[in-house]
Structure 1
Amino acid sequence: MSDSMTVLVTGASGTLGSAVVPALTAAGHRVRPMSRRARPGWVAADLASGDGLDDAVRGADAIVHLASAPGRRQRETDVEGTRRLLAAAARAGVRHALYVSIVGIDRVPLGYYRTKLATEAVVRDSGVPFTILRATQFPSLVDTLFTASSRLGPLIVDPGFRVQPVHVQDVAERIVSLLGEPATGQATELAGPQALTLGEMARPWLAARGSRRPVWLVRLPGGLARAVREGGLVGTTGSTGTHTWDDYLVERYGNTGCEPV
């Protein structure tokens, strides 16, 4: 087992952060969750303004950087905020910055993905020893997309869209493992155990929810859709977690309602 460390976690209240904080704690680390707003037991700091960052990183051995802003402030928070965070980390002598990114950001033409690539470049150039973990999408994202699509009628999916969803717990466990080793200075990937099309995922999702909505298969136009159909969101290294889409459906809804896909 690795030595106990003080670990600052940005984005600690998010989907992944909510799994990472207890995983790090269970591994014996002293966890310092960070939020923009003060709360008991947390440190308050703002990536977008830089307020509180020097205090947040002081005494930290490592940083797990999860915070992101996919909306209007994404460059200010993701790119420039990461630059501010790692400048403070360099001043404080932080030994390992682990940045969580996304599989496919260099293959799928999406604005947010370009921002993530730019943020990776900031991490690489920061002077702080680093590891980048690129993960595929969480199954909850597919769940949310299906829910939004089916809200007003049939479930509409591009049957050729290929994804490889990875459970947040698998990502959290990989983060703990990576922190137990020296910073690699490279990017590594983690994907789910199954590469599936949305067409394959749709009917088990409906069955798990007890829904009889029809599924409309629609091939979407454009370069973004083409890149996803060609596997832009699928892992390339063979490194996978263990939780399947059916596992997620059982966890979320209590039953898949059908045989595994």
Structure 2
Amino acid sequence: MSTILVTGGTGTLGRPVCELLRAENHEVRVLSRHSPPYAVDLRQGGPLLDRAVDGADAVVHCSNILRGDREAARNLIEAARRAGVPHLLYISIVGVDRVPLGYYRTKYAVERMIQGSGIGWTLLRATQFHDLILQLLQGLAKPPVMLLPKDVRDQPLEVTEAAARLAELAAGPPVGRVEDMGGPEILTFAELARAYLRASGRRRRLVELPLPGGAYRGLRRGGHLAPDRAVGRVTFDAFLARRFGGPEETAGA
């Protein structure tokens, strides 16, 4: 079977990708800052990165570095070129070319770096994972009043579904940009907040506020959504039920 390197292999997405690849009998190398034998900070690169990519049939780039993402991608691409890696697979976000968020701009820049790398590449864009939406709502629920962006919707996706798609793609040849992955339902932030409060047994007053700026306008227009690619099956309610206890329901079940 193939030898596959997964960057960010101990993270929310990388961990299930590694588990699925191992279940298919691939040799999996896990690269993260604190995980020997490939404990590498991609922003620094170095000989250990070269060792990690050497002989790999594919590299799945799942690392999510808020500061230094471009430097990390540049170092990874250069190491992959030196090693002659035939396939570089990247997970990005739906709307990075439509919503003018700084983080999205960085992800889009990394996409273009990979596309121009001279290495065979595959690109998958996904909507936001359930885990990220939950983390955001937990932060917003710390005060007694939850302040929410008015008229903004989201389409949360189960991370293991994205992981399964990445594992499938990593085992095959480079295919360029594949179809986006979106969650099974599009909900307003108020609906997401109410679902979280029900599941967690908390009470908060919800207040929706308009926000300034182009990024907010892009989100209101739904630039980060993929309504035609609602391929996920696990709903936000089902995700919350697993986290907090309660009956599970999945879209299409």
Q: When the two structures are superposed, what TM-score results if normalisation uses the length of structure 2?
A: 0.92
Pair 1:12 & 2:9 matched = yes
Shift in Å at residue 123 of structure 1?
0.3
Q: Which residue of structure 2 lines up, in the alignment, with residue 162 of structure 1?
A: 153
Contact map agreement 2:59 2:88 (CA 8 A) in 1: yes
Q: Which residue of structure 2 lines up, in the alignment, with residue 79 of structure 1?
A: 70
Q: Which residue of structure 1 lines up, in the alignment, with residue 214 of structure 2?
A: 223
- Match of residue 39, structure 2, among 34, 40, 44: 44
Q: Secondary structure at the match of 1:131?
A: strand
Pair 1:171 & 2:162 matched = yes
Q: Give the whole-Å Cα distance in 2 for the aligned partners of 1:25 and 1:59.
A: 17
Q: Which string of whole-angstrom CA distances, capped at 9 and with x for unpartnered residues, describes residues 165-190 of structure 1?
A: 11110010001121233211225311
Shift in Å at residue 239 of structure 1?
5.2
- How many residues in Structure 1 have an aligned counterpart in Structure 2? 249
Q: Give the whole-Å Cα distance in 1 for the aligned partners of 2:193 and 2:227.
A: 24
* 1:1-261 correspondence to structure 2 within 5 Å: 4-39=1-36, 42-51=37-46, 52-70=48-66, 73-74=67-68, 78-235=69-226, 237-238=228-229, 240-255=231-246
Q: Give the whole-Å Cα distance in 1 for the aligned partners of 2:219 and 2:60.
A: 28
Identity in percent: 43
Q: 1:58 to 1:112 in 2, by over 3 A?
A: same
User: Could you tell which deviates more after superposition, 218-227 or 11-20?
Assistant: 218-227
Shift in Å at residue 32 of structure 1?
0.3
1:25 partner amino acid: R
1:186 partner amino acid: R
Q: Give the whole-Å Cα distance in 2 for the aligned partners of 1:158 and 1:121.
A: 30
Contact map agreement 1:210 1:257 (CA 8 A) in 2: no
Structure 2: state its 5+ residue gaps: none
Q: Give the whole-Å Cα distance in 1 for the aligned partners of 2:176 and 2:140.
A: 40
Structure 1: state its 5+ residue gaps: none
Q: Which string of whole-angstrom CA distances, capped at 9 and with x for unpartnered residues, describes residues 44-73 of structure 1?
A: 223112112211101111100011211xx3
Q: Which string of whole-angstrom CA distances, capped at 9 and with x for unpartnered residues, describes residues 123-167 of structure 1?
A: 011111010111111112111111111211122212411111111
1:59 partner amino acid: G
Q: When the two structures are superposed, what TM-score results if normalisation uses the length of structure 1?
A: 0.89
Contact map agreement 1:83 1:126 (CA 8 A) in 2: no
Q: Give the whole-Å Cα distance in 1 for the aligned partners of 2:2 and 2:221.
A: 41
Shift in Å at residue 33 of structure 1?
0.2
